[in-house]
Amino acid sequence: MTLVEPGQVVGLDPKAVAAAAAETTKLVNAAKSGSFTISGEALEDLRQALSDMVTRVDRLTGSTAALDQAPQLGSHPYGHAVAAHDLKAASQDTGSMRAVLGQFRTVLTQADEALARAGGVYRTGEDSAVDAHAAHKTGDLA
């Protein structure tokens, strides 16, 4: 039997999410440098899966908004202390459900960025401005 720490998201280990974030950052950097590329149908399918997962995480995050409020456990000092502890564990601690969901969402969006860069479909505002400037200089305005 595995014991779960107070406030920990079952099935979403904060250490695993942090490790995934580190690896996703490496993937983004590899895509930026051109050492990771992907194309075709696999790119579309993977990006759609990531988009679907972001949507699911956003829904779950929305449904856990009540965790941002301390539970009402009475007006006595012990009730206030327990309520403060519950609030911190549920939404404020590093390993809380809300924090880990936010970190997981970041991992998903970074993975999508890496795939978009690797597939050559990633465009930043800066890239667009450079392209527009180059088009203006050569007279290739659309």
- Strand blocks (E) in 18-98: none
Domain ranges of the chain: 14-122
Please name every residue paired with 9 in a beta bridge, in sequence order, or none if there are none.
Answer: 12
What band does 8 get if pLDDT is binned at 50, 70 and 90?
very low
pTM of the model: 0.66
Position with higher pLDDT, 108 vs 9? 108
pLDDT 10s digits, 115-141: 998 888 766 655 555 555 555 555 555
Which pLDDT belongs to residue 5? 52
pLDDT 10s digits, 14-57: 788 888 888 988 988 888 888 888 877 788 899 999 999 999 99
